[in-house]
């Protein structure tokens, strides 16, 4: 079953390769979507794929890459729209 998840990640998550490594992890799991830095210092991720892969991805995001320090993560599950094709870094 295809799902969509929106993740807003707080903490020291910008400038620590979070976007690059989350894209690599998402691509390895076969997910589509995007990751981007927000002006408030958070990282926003929108991802679509099968629920098990999205859950694995969300668990990875709670820790992030080695240099990250994730303080908290907001998770919103939604219906998949199928509009996302690749997993990209958005600016």
Active site residues: 19, 37
3-state secondary structure 27-89: HHCCCEEEEEECCCCCEEEEEEEEHHHHHHHHHHHCCCCCCCEEEEEEEEEEECCCCCCCEEE
């Amino acid at each position: 079953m295809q799902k969509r998840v929106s993740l807003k990640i707080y903490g020291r998550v910008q400038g620590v390769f979070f976007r690059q490594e989350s894209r690599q992890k998402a691509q390895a799991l076969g997910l589509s979507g995007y990751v981007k830095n927000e002006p408030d210092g958070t990282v926003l991720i929108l991802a679509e794929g099968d629920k098990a892969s999205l859950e694995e991805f969300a668990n990875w995001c709670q820790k992030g890459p080695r240099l990250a320090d994730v303080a908290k993560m907001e998770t919103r599950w939604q219906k998949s729209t199928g509009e996302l094709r690749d997993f990209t870094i958005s600016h």
